[in-house]
Amino acid sequence: MKSYSLPDFLIERDDSRCIRCRVCERQCGWNVHSYDAEEDKMVHNEQDCAGCQRCAVFCPTKALIVRPHPYGYRPNANWTKDYLSDLKKQAETGSILLTGMGNDKSFPIYWDHLVLNASQVTNPSIDPLREPMELRTYLGRKPDRIEVLEDGTLKTVLAPQIKLETPILFSAMSYGAISFQAMESLARAATEFGTMFNTGEGGLPRSLRKYGKNAVVQCASGRFGVDLEYLNTGAVVEIKIGQGAKPGIGGHLPGKKVTDAISETRMIPAGTDALSPAPHHDIYSIEDLSMLIHALKEATNYEKPISVKIAAVHNAAAIASGIVRAGADIVAIDGLRGSTGAAPKSIRDNVGIPIELALAAVDTRLRQEGIRNQASIIAAGGFRCSSDIVKAIALGADAVYIGTPALIAMGCTVCQKCYSGICNWGICTTNPYLSKRLNPNIASRRLTNLLNAWSHEMKEMLGGMGVNAIESLRGNRLHLRGVGLQEWELEVLGVRGAGR
């Protein structure tokens, strides 16, 4: 059916600069650019442009500019361009609108309404260049009290802990949703930096099992790739109940993306759709969840913390309390702006609550119930910079998962086309021609650079607050003040308004 939609992007090519090298043509998986031999010039079809900027970045003469198309529908406060385009697409396809990455609606971003404290005269600030600053973080259940023997050794037997050199882990991204090269890059960077990557629900390829000590291995509703060896390869086992980008619904990897390698890793036939149901078919209550947690502990000889990941939904605090009481060692909460490889747009943009509110509510509830020490909290969904992370830790997180920032570090431009299987940056694709573009030597270096830069910035912020260990900041909301927030928001966040 003929498309009635207007293009989203305008491509401007400076013909005086263009050397007809055809790099743009080769770099574009959407076949936007082509060479007209008769006219000896490059032409383009901007209707198909995803705005990923690959051609502009790689054009050797910087002859290309790709920008939002000025074509406009008549301005209308109600019927905005997005609603018109989406509606036209659905009238042409009769299908659910799919999208990738995280919610891009203008919901409040509370990180931008929270400010950090800094020491001035009393409790002076610390110079992180001259004094030791501790970002090391241990995740896992902590005892109610510690007993020490006369010789100074620990009498209390600790539950299994994982040690991170920085409170930043890479979010769950499954092999199949991302390329092998992207997963290898994440695994190598996590190992080099002393943190963790997360297999997502797609299993762990055999050739990456050497990075298992730095892997969170997921056990999701589809149980793809889950067997005893897989569970024991990882350092943490995570039961995925929900995901911030699509709470309440399952996952779907189309059969055409299930290549031989993915079929082997997921333990499903090649070419078949990999459908993860919305619920785990053996979990209909907290008691059922508790049985799975304990089954996984039994399977891993009680040597690994068990994490349970949920989407941030309206009653996240009560759910988290149940999860901790069910025996989880870590609760991961994924907020409204969490990313995904593919989700219905209607779900991604309208379901769930911001991570800032969910995190504060969960930390408060667990403290009120006296069980905060029984599980670590990992917050996820929408972290953009090191200061967001410092604020999250002051709100109550032990650590954070980052997904989109890691992808951006590898080259992603947040074009939101991950669901299509065409990623010109070689990240969210299983197409060998495209995925080979991502060089794990380079991508893992870019990831460790990001972790390094953010960790340095976090130490600077801690030093400014006069805090020399990230542990001391956790849940210390006195280091936060709200700006431009209403009373109810300050109350949920548990922070005072600025000036008070």
Site for ligand SF4, rule CB under 6 A = 13, 18-24, 42, 52, 59-61, 63-64, 100-101, 407, 412-418, 423, 425, 427-428
If the CB atoms of residues 100 and 160 are measured against ligand SF4, the closer one turns out to be 100
What type of residue is 234? G
For residue 469, the SS3 value is strand
Q: 202 with 225: CB under 8 angstroms? A: yes
For residue 408, the minimal CB distance to ligand SF4 (Å) is 8
If the CB atoms of residues 321 and 435 are measured against ligand SF4, the closer one turns out to be 435
For residue 52, the minimal CB distance to ligand SF4 (Å) is 5
For residue 442, the minimal CB distance to ligand SF4 (Å) is 16
Burial class (CB in 10 A: 0-12, 13-18, 19+), 88: middle
Supply the DSSP symbol for 291. Answer: H
For residue 216, the minimal CB distance to ligand SF4 (Å) is 20
Instruction: List the one residue out of 381, 328, 391, 321 whose CA is nearest residue 351.
Output: 381
d(CA 70, CA 81): 11
Could you tell me which residues come within 8 angstroms of residue 171 by beta carbon, excluding any fewer than 6 positions away? Answer: 198, 338, 339, 380, 401, 402, 403, 406
If the CB atoms of residues 202 and 305 are measured against ligand SF4, the closer one turns out to be 202
Residues facing 169 on adjacent strands: 401
If the CB atoms of residues 53 and 166 are measured against ligand SF4, the closer one turns out to be 53
d(CA 125, CA 118): 7
E strand or H helix at 36, and its extent? strand 33-36
Within 13 Å and on the Cβ side, how many CA atoms surround 414? 15
For residue 29, the minimal CB distance to ligand SF4 (Å) is 9
If the CB atoms of residues 387 and 429 are measured against ligand SF4, the closer one turns out to be 429
If the CB atoms of residues 97 and 283 are measured against ligand SF4, the closer one turns out to be 97
For residue 12, the minimal CB distance to ligand SF4 (Å) is 10
If the CB atoms of residues 331 and 402 are measured against ligand SF4, the closer one turns out to be 402
For residue 67, the minimal CB distance to ligand SF4 (Å) is 15
